[in-house]
Chains A and B, each alone.
Chain A
């Protein structure tokens, strides 16, 4: 019988893994920390359930059951996704590195009994650095953006999954618009700096601390040029490449209001 490694390798060949393994394409990539469902930024979705954060190895897992806000509005009493027949299951895997997020795709696929994933391009999925769907368009969607591996599945028979996937990917991939910044009580980046002199290819600890004045949770989105950001032993690190390094950090609170701090240096 095939061992675990053998199975993963077989799956990788099946999925053309070598074509999308490793680092994200392009000069700038994202790294996400402490992610939670940004409800304020996606008002068309309502969180029915938020499972307790968990971990799969070094991957931080968040899981939500969501329904279209439209359906929520139409529901009566306490009826939710069950009554409307519309609910999606969102899972996010916050991985310690870009490369690991791609490995997470294989791990996820290996856990599916029937499989049959189709490349996102075949389904006209326009999201993610890597994207796959299920047997039918809209039936399920998974994608990678930076260190985030995101799966959107159906919890009930409807609705389509790709629209939510597209919206989340856009949120992870793009800098926030200025219009979102002006909250009455935005979060604050307290400290953002490399804790040692940078040297090409060498990991140095990266300190990013932020707070919300009202104590609300915050999550961070980093845009990285000229190096790689990752997480090891629960700390961020920066491994600069040759030349200029620029890391721009955005910290969001649950209302979608944000603060920004940039780090520009040279290895």
Chain B
């Protein structure tokens, strides 16, 4: 069909009015996931709106690699023309995909080009380009929502991460004619491995459901687990990310006897406060215990598609020396040598957990590092080891149980199958 020419002499103006990434809340195999920003704020669709959206962060979308694999991803966009009744072919390309190589010239220009290429590869567009499609404008100049396929996606090739998509929108009125640039839009895209698992939900999809995945959590989880291409690697990276917080933001609750500060002891995780703490604010303070760390690990890993639970171990078991979160050297928890040797035992311990509630379950412990050497109950030197996807094991297996608990405590250091949970985010 031949498009109409603009008939005014002046160039015709076509604008992008809105873009929907999550255009089918009932599905997530060909479009984006249902998400919200945090407990208080919903992500409205269309995510991008003309005159409202000014930064990529204001236009977020999350995709699950596993569920979208092999499918054509689609978006919907609406346009406006100052010449009603015309038909235009519209597309969007990635202007950052192939930056000009000789910017500034010489060696410096080459380095700049290399850096741009690198940043694009790591954090740049994964949604590819918007395949051209004809749109017809009605008498009021509106196109309604047009569904576009995306092509050249990098979604299957990249791991977990946050990405910025920049699209240069273009139109033309006749096939084969030169493309005319219109708007540039930018969007923040989160690449997840799978659809987020409990406590996160995809339904019901409404502003009142605070368990929809939060971009405030994705902002940290995607950075901690950047590049991870399978769920175990992602959970491991999240575990390490949580433990690293001990260098600056949190420390084990020695003054309070190892109490939880970021959960309500049963079913709720004060995630809003934790995110505030991650951002350098007060949150609920600097102290955490194993319940908190297990909850951080589980919640932040599961939003990426991992499937961990918070598992309690115990009751009352003697400990090997460890490096608790916030500490820098091996000791019993809360030791202050030479006057205080620290606590010889845990009443309980809580960890991120994968698999069956048995010795065959796997531990992701963001609260402490165990001794990774051949004799974890022996003296120094010790080998710091973060338990990441480490089988719990039976006494004598030299696995997590043996590394955490002293020989006398090992029989009691068992998973408590009555205390497996995933705390809801609040």
Please tell me which one of the listed residues A48, A65, A140 contacts residue B257 in the complex, with CB atoms under 8 A apart. A140
B316 — which chain A residues lie within 8 A by C-beta? Answer: 2, 7, 10
Which of B191-199, B215-223, B282-290, B393-401 forms contacts with chain A?
B282-290
0/1 interface trace, chain A 1-26, chain B, CB 8 Å (1 if under): 11010010010000000000000000
**Is B347 positioned at the interface, with any CB of A under 8 Å from its CB?**
yes
Min distance, Cβ A57 to any Cβ of chain B, angstroms: 9
Please tell me which one of the listed residues A49, A89, A111, A139 contacts residue B265 in the complex, with CB atoms under 8 A apart. A111
Do A114 and B261 touch across chains, with their CB atoms under 8 A apart? no
**Is B343 positioned at the interface, with any CB of A under 8 Å from its CB?**
yes
Question: What are 19 A-B pairs with beta-carbon distances under 8 A?
Answer: A2-B316, A49-B273, A56-B264, A82-B280, A82-B282, A108-B259, A112-B289, A113-B348, A113-B350, A114-B346, A115-B343, A135-B254, A135-B334, A135-B340, A139-B256, A140-B255, A155-B287, A156-B282, A161-B255
Bound together, the chains give a CA A238 to CA B257 distance in angstroms of 37
**Is A136 positioned at the interface, with any CB of B under 8 Å from its CB?**
yes
User: With contacts A7-B315, A155-B285, A155-B287 known, is A1 near B257, CB below 8 A?
Assistant: no
Q: Which residue of B lies closest to A139 (CB)?
A: B255
**Is B377 positioned at the interface, with any CB of A under 8 Å from its CB?**
no
Q: Which residue of B lies closest to A10 (CB)?
A: B316
Min distance, Cβ A61 to any Cβ of chain B, angstroms: 8
User: Which residues in A have some Cβ–Cβ distance to B below 8 Å?
Assistant: 1-2, 4, 7, 10, 48-49, 51, 54, 56, 61, 65, 80-82, 87, 89, 108-117, 134-136, 139-140, 153-157, 161
**Is B260 positioned at the interface, with any CB of A under 8 Å from its CB?**
yes
**Is B333 positioned at the interface, with any CB of A under 8 Å from its CB?**
yes
Q: Which residue of B lies closest to A110 (CB)?
A: B347
User: With contacts A1-B416, A139-B255 known, is A89 near B261, CB below 8 A?
Assistant: yes
Min distance, Cβ B216 to any Cβ of chain A, angstroms: 17
Bound together, the chains give a CA A139 to CA B265 distance in angstroms of 20
Min distance, Cβ B372 to any Cβ of chain A, angstroms: 22
A2 — which chain B residues lie within 8 A by C-beta? Answer: 315-316
Min distance, Cβ A8 to any Cβ of chain B, angstroms: 11
Do A113 and B349 touch across chains, with their CB atoms under 8 A apart? yes
Min distance, Cβ B367 to any Cβ of chain A, angstroms: 9
Task: A65-B282, A116-B257 are known; give 9 further A-B pairs, CB within 8 A.
Answer: A1-B414, A7-B316, A56-B265, A89-B285, A111-B259, A112-B258, A113-B350, A140-B257, A154-B285
Do B259 and A112 touch across chains, with their CB atoms under 8 A apart? yes
Q: How many A-B residue pairs have CB under 8 A?
A: 113
Min distance, Cβ A232 to any Cβ of chain B, angstroms: 22
Please tell me which one of the listed residues B255, B258, B282 contacts residue A80 in the complex, with CB atoms under 8 A apart. B282
Bound together, the chains give a CA A136 to CA B256 distance in angstroms of 9
Q: Which residue of B lies closest to A61 (CB)?
A: B264
User: With contacts A65-B282, A134-B256, A140-B256 known, is A112 near B261, CB below 8 A?
Assistant: no
Do A114 and B285 touch across chains, with their CB atoms under 8 A apart? no
Do B347 and A113 touch across chains, with their CB atoms under 8 A apart? yes
Do A155 and B343 touch across chains, with their CB atoms under 8 A apart? no
Min distance, Cβ A103 to any Cβ of chain B, angstroms: 14
Chain B interface residue bracket vs A = 35 or more
Give me the 7 closest cross-chain CB pairs, A-B, nearest first: A155-B285, A139-B255, A113-B258, A114-B258, A112-B257, A82-B282, A153-B256
Q: Which residue of B lies closest to A109 (CB)?
A: B257
Q: Which residue of B lies closest to A2 (CB)?
A: B315
Bound together, the chains give a CA A109 to CA B347 distance in angstroms of 10
Min distance, Cβ A165 to any Cβ of chain B, angstroms: 13
Min distance, Cβ A120 to any Cβ of chain B, angstroms: 14
Min distance, Cβ B326 to any Cβ of chain A, angstroms: 11
A49 — which chain B residues lie within 8 A by C-beta? Answer: 273, 282, 284
B71 — which chain A residues lie within 8 A by C-beta? Answer: none
Do A115 and B255 touch across chains, with their CB atoms under 8 A apart? no
Q: Which residue of B lies closest to A87 (CB)?
A: B285
Do A113 and B289 touch across chains, with their CB atoms under 8 A apart? yes
Q: In the complex, which residues 389-426 of chain B have their Cβ closer than 8 Å to any Cβ of chain A? A: 412, 414, 416, 418
Please tell me which one of the listed residues B260, B265, B270, B412 contacts residue A51 in the complex, with CB atoms under 8 A apart. B270
A161 — which chain B residues lie within 8 A by C-beta? Answer: 255
B343 — which chain A residues lie within 8 A by C-beta? Answer: 114-116
Please tell me which one of the listed residues B257, B284, B289, B348 contacts residue A135 in the complex, with CB atoms under 8 A apart. B257
Q: Which residue of B lies closest to A157 (CB)?
A: B286
Q: Which residue of A lies closest to B286 (CB)?
A: A156
Q: Which residue of B lies closest to A83 (CB)?
A: B282
Do A113 and B346 touch across chains, with their CB atoms under 8 A apart? yes
Do A1 and B412 touch across chains, with their CB atoms under 8 A apart? yes
**Is B291 positioned at the interface, with any CB of A under 8 Å from its CB?**
yes
B99 — which chain A residues lie within 8 A by C-beta? Answer: none
Min distance, Cβ B295 to any Cβ of chain A, angstroms: 13
B314 — which chain A residues lie within 8 A by C-beta? Answer: 1
B315 — which chain A residues lie within 8 A by C-beta? Answer: 1-2, 7
Bound together, the chains give a CA A153 to CA B256 distance in angstroms of 6
Bound together, the chains give a CA A88 to CA B348 distance in angstroms of 25
Do B258 and A54 touch across chains, with their CB atoms under 8 A apart? no
Min distance, Cβ A117 to any Cβ of chain B, angstroms: 6
Min distance, Cβ B250 to any Cβ of chain A, angstroms: 11
**Is B266 positioned at the interface, with any CB of A under 8 Å from its CB?**
yes
**Is B27 positioned at the interface, with any CB of A under 8 Å from its CB?**
no
Bound together, the chains give a CA A66 to CA B246 distance in angstroms of 23
B285 — which chain A residues lie within 8 A by C-beta? Answer: 65, 81, 87, 89, 154-156
Please tell me which one of the listed residues A7, A109, A111, A154 contacts residue B260 in the complex, with CB atoms under 8 A apart. A111
Do A56 and B266 touch across chains, with their CB atoms under 8 A apart? yes
B280 — which chain A residues lie within 8 A by C-beta? Answer: 82
B108 — which chain A residues lie within 8 A by C-beta? Answer: none
Do B347 and A155 touch across chains, with their CB atoms under 8 A apart? no
Do A134 and B414 touch across chains, with their CB atoms under 8 A apart? no
User: With contacts A56-B264, A114-B343 known, is A155 near B255, CB below 8 A?
Assistant: no
B254 — which chain A residues lie within 8 A by C-beta? Answer: 114, 135, 139
A108 — which chain B residues lie within 8 A by C-beta? Answer: 259
B412 — which chain A residues lie within 8 A by C-beta? Answer: 1
A135 — which chain B residues lie within 8 A by C-beta? Answer: 254-255, 257, 334, 340
**Is B281 positioned at the interface, with any CB of A under 8 Å from its CB?**
yes
Bound together, the chains give a CA A2 to CA B316 distance in angstroms of 9
Min distance, Cβ A48 to any Cβ of chain B, angstroms: 6
Min distance, Cβ B266 to any Cβ of chain A, angstroms: 7
Bound together, the chains give a CA A197 to CA B334 distance in angstroms of 56
Q: Which residue of B lies closest to A6 (CB)?
A: B315
